[in-house]
Amino acid sequence: MELTVNGTRHTYTGDPAMPLLWYVRDELGLTGTKYGCGIGACGACTVHLDGVAVRGCQTPVSAAAGRAVTTIEGLAATTSGRPGPGEQLHVVQRAWRTHNVPQCGYCQAGQIMQAASLLARTPAPTDAEIDAAMRGNLCRCGTYTRIRAAIHTAAGDLAGAKPSAPSNGRS
């Protein structure tokens, strides 16, 4: 089968039931996507399938045939990403740095992918919308309050970047 990962086309002939998680990690060497539980209960393996967050451990490679997979390594280059100063970063990645969100960092790729997917659909989420969208992603270090704050910052950056957006204090 054929699939696109971070803009590159790949042909895969192995077990079609292999979860996308292990395919991108073990076969493609894209190790930014993490294993956490294998049952879709923690979100560490979150990737985008055609721009929408899915659990990599619950998505067989076969479900990605003919579709576009984005992992954390490819996030900045997606349409919702915008160049930051120096390095090309997605707004969510920039906000994560602004708020010093990560502690150990292991779950953060999944958190960032989930947040980016949320903002793509809901550019200015309320706290309740953030809670609902992010509650599937566990963080054992306890960075949750910063994740909330960073998503609001990213949403603000997105709003500020739109030329047609109403004035938010920036001239």
Partner 1 sequence: MADIREIDRREFLHGLAAGGLLLVATASGCRRVSDTFGGTAAGSGGTPAPDGPPLAPAVYLRIAPTGDVTIIVHRSEMGQGTKTSLAMAAADELEADWARVRVEQAPGDEKTYGSQDTDGSWSIRGFLQPLREAGATARAMLEAAAARRWGVPVSDVAARQNQVVHASSGRTIGFGELVAVARTLPVPPKEQLRLKQPSEYRYIGKEIPAVDLADITVGRARFGIDQRLPGMRYAVVARPPVYGGTVASVDERAARAVPGVERIVRLPHTPVPSGMSPLGGVAVVARNTWAAIQGRNALRITWHDGPNASYDSGTYRAALERSARSAGKVARAQGNTATALAGAAKRIAAEYYIPHLAHAPMEAPVALANVTSTGCEVWAPTQAPQGARDALAKVLGLSADAVKVNVTLLGGAFGRKSFPDFIIEAALLSRAVGAPVKVQWTREDDLQHDYLHTVAVERLEGGLDTDGKVVAWVHRSALPSIGSTFASHVLYQDDGEMAQGITDLPYAIPNLRGEAGPATPHTRIGWYRSVINIPHAFAIGSFIDELAHAAGKDTRTFIAEMLGPDHIVDMTRAGLTGKPQNYDASFDEYPIDTARYRGVLELAAQQAGWGQPLPAGQGRRIAVHRSFLSYVASVVQVEVHPDGTLSIPRVDVAVDAGTIVHPERVRAQMEGATIMGLSNALHGEITFKGGRVEQVNFAPPQLAAAGDTQRTGYQIMRLDEAPREIHVHVVPSTGKPGGIGEPGVPPTAPALCNAIFAATGKRIRTLPVAGQLAGTGAIA
Q: Which chain residues interact with partner 1 by CB under 8 A?
A: 14-15, 18-19, 22, 25-27, 29-42, 44, 71-73, 75-76, 87, 89, 93, 96-97, 100, 102-109, 112, 127, 130-132, 134-148
Nearest-CA neighbor of 108 among 16, 29, 42? 42
CB of 49: closest distance to partner 1 in angstroms?
A: 17
Closest to partner 1 by CB, 15 or 165? 15
Closest to partner 1 by CB, 105 or 165? 105
Inter-CA distances, 37 with 23, 40, 42, 75, 116, Å: 16, 7, 6, 23, 22
Q: Are strands 82-83 and 52-55 parallel, antiparallel or unpaired?
A: unpaired
Closest to partner 1 by CB, 49 or 111? 111
